[in-house]
Amino acid sequence: MAATDKSQRTAARIAAAAAELFFDQGFTDTTIAQVADRSNVAAGTVMLHFGSKSDLATAAFADQIATVVQSSVDALADANQTSLESSLAAFVRPIFGWYEANLEVAPDLLREALFAEGKWAEHYTQTVNKTVTAFAQIAAEHRDRDDVALVGEGLLADYFIVLLRGFRGEFGSVDEQIERFVSLARTRFP
């Protein structure tokens, strides 16, 4: 067995243990020592593989977030929506649903991802770019102007505003959150 394979399996085991602990007790209340104990490695091994608790959180959930965003892209393509409202709703529903289902870790995860560095920052940036591209695609289908990339970035800002308000409990359901996002986003389409 190659050392790289063993290292990758160890890192995966550590990330899985961290995800379990983050879900069970939250990001703030989870320690590196607990992650090490749960994954049957030394705390130094956790730090060797991830460098920080932030990197560990990002690693533990980066693939889940990327998968959710991809499911949103797929939902948009599969839905073949004809109205702006239905296109926006089809895209954000899986994402808002994932965040609502994971409220115990979602705010911390988003904060950590926003300030991540290195490969985790690259991974997060790719996911954000995929989201902006999807929003620009929606804009292109429902707008006659050439500034669809800028509108895509504006829609991302609207998305984050509504996401953060959701973390604060301002919506009673994902449907209410989607409704607010669509209402806010609608203002970008004269």
- With the CA atoms of 7, 38, 36 and 48 taken in that order, what torsion angle do they form, in degrees rounded to the nearest 10? 20
Give me the mean pLDDT over the 148-166 stretch: 91
Task: For residue range 103-152, list pLDDT tens digits in order.
Answer: 878 888 777 777 777 776 787 888 888 889 998 888 888 776 678 888 88
Res 1: pLDDT:
55
Structural class in CATH, domain 58-186: mainly alpha
Res 80: pLDDT:
67
Range(s) within the chain of domains with CATH label 1.10.10.60: 1-51
Res 137: pLDDT:
86
Q: Residue 99 and residue 110: Cα distance in Å, rounded?
A: 10
Give me the mean pLDDT over the 14-23 stretch: 91
Range(s) within the chain of domains with CATH label 1.10.357: 58-186
Give me the mean pLDDT over the 150-156 stretch: 90
Q: What percent of the chain has pLDDT over 90?
A: 38
Res 165: pLDDT:
93
pTM of the model: 0.80
Give me the mean pLDDT over the 12-16 stretch: 92
Give 169 or 112, the one with higher predicted confidence. 169
Task: For residue range 37-87, list pLDDT tens digits in order.
Answer: 999 999 999 999 988 887 888 788 877 888 898 899 888 887 666 788 888
Within 13 Å, how many C-alpha atoms sit on residue 175's CB side?
A: 0
Q: Assign residue 26 a region: left if phi > 0, alpha if psi is -120 to 50, beta otherwise?
A: left
User: In the CATH scheme, what architecture does the domain 1-51 have?
Assistant: Orthogonal Bundle (1.10)
- Please say if the pLDDT value at position 102 is more than 60: yes
Res 176: pLDDT:
97
Give 14 or 104, the one with higher predicted confidence. 14
Q: Residue 9 and residue 143: Cα distance in Å, rounded?
A: 47
Give me the mean pLDDT over the 93-104 stretch: 89
Number of other residues whose CB lies within 10 A of the CB of residue 180: 17
